[in-house]
Amino acid sequence: MLFKTFKKMKVVFISSGNSKNGISAIVKRQGETLQRAGIEVDFFKIKGKGFRGYFRNIFIFRTYLKNNPHNLVHAHYSLSAYVATLAGAKPLVVSLMGSDVYSKFYYKYLNKFLNKVSWNACIVKSENMKYFSTIRNAILIPNGIDTNEWFLLPKNEVREKLGLDKAKKYILFASNPAREEKNFSLLNTAIEQFNKEVELLIINDKSQEELNLYYNAVDVILLTSLHEGSPNVVKEAMACNCPVVSTDVGDVRWLFGDTPGYYITSFDHADVVEKIKLAINFREKYSQTKGRERIIELGLDSGTVADRIIDVYSQVLKLTDH
């Protein structure tokens, strides 16, 4: 990884603290990458769900900011940005995450208004997000992944470690089936078309170490989402050279490019079935894709992404004279 050289900077990350592990893995890893680059990052965790739960944190965060000197606040997800805005956080950088652009129409208009009158910079994860957000000056920076954390392992050795049948074909769904936007019903309908030689594995809230094992053990990762920002599961699987079948959401088409072993599917279950068969055959014939090379080629390693975020911080601080 290569990081920018800059003067000492302290940034406060504000995000939901309601997940099983406190804050989301994506936010945590981004903060840790910036810390390795020399940025001092503090994490403020919002406790409470929905508008009412979030807005109870406004005065708490305002007090926190007064008692904790900082150069800049970086809010992750719209609701966190609203808390930061109403708490008077300045300067303020906001990262929209995906669902806050696609799922709630009022987020879209409120985000556009606040970006114009209050936010100092707005980051989105894909061109599709930028288009739907209608924030013309949004800065496109996909989430990066640490290629030291996602790496290749021998498939049969990993299967033995996980207790998986070496002869079976495994399809992995690495998300929560209850989340409506993940469109699990499409995946389930497609899987029903296969015989017992193909098994679906559903994993959610696993550690990075466990996920890395599964990415290397299975034959294909399946993503049937209705919408995404820049799905980390795809980038992580690609870093492990595992085939992926995905609906055309977020920046997936750009991530895949022309790399063999990666397949875009429509929302027709017959097309999903066909693409899964192609991916399984690819895995059987070639063993691995060149997804890892593609991730590095696109500059999506966490160090390169950290440099781009630091550039945003530097520009904001320069313009606000902090």
Decide if pLDDT at 194 tops 60.
Answer: yes
Q: What are the tens digits of pLDDT across the range 279-317? A: 999 999 999 999 999 999 999 999 999 999 999 999 999
Where in the chain is CATH 3.40.50.2000? 10-144+301-320, 155-297
Q: For residue 303, which amino acid is it?
A: G
Neighbours of 37 (CB within 10 A): 21
Contacts of 104 (CB under 8 A, 6+ apart): none
Structure tokens at 200: 């679906």
If pLDDT is split at 50, 70 and 90, which confidence band does 207 have? confident
If pLDDT is split at 50, 70 and 90, which confidence band does 7 have? low
The pLDDT, as a whole number, for residue 196 is 81
CATH topology of domain 155-297: Rossmann fold (3.40.50)
CATH topology of domain 10-144+301-320: Rossmann fold (3.40.50)
Contacts of 26 (CB under 8 A, 6+ apart): 97, 143, 232
Is there a contact between 17 and 23 (Cβ–Cβ < 8 Å)?
yes
Q: For residue 61, which amino acid is it?
A: F
Q: How is the beta sheet containing 244-247 ordered, strand by strand?
A: 198-202, 169-173, 220-223, 244-247, 262-265
Q: Torsion-angle region of residue 224: left (phi > 0), alpha (psi -120 to 50) or beta?
A: alpha
If pLDDT is split at 50, 70 and 90, which confidence band does 5 have? very low
Q: For residue 291, which amino acid is it?
A: G
Average of per-residue pLDDT across 149-159: 95
Q: Which of the given ranges, 45-59, 103-117, 161-175, has the highest pLDDT on average?
A: 161-175
If pLDDT is split at 50, 70 and 90, which confidence band does 197 have? confident
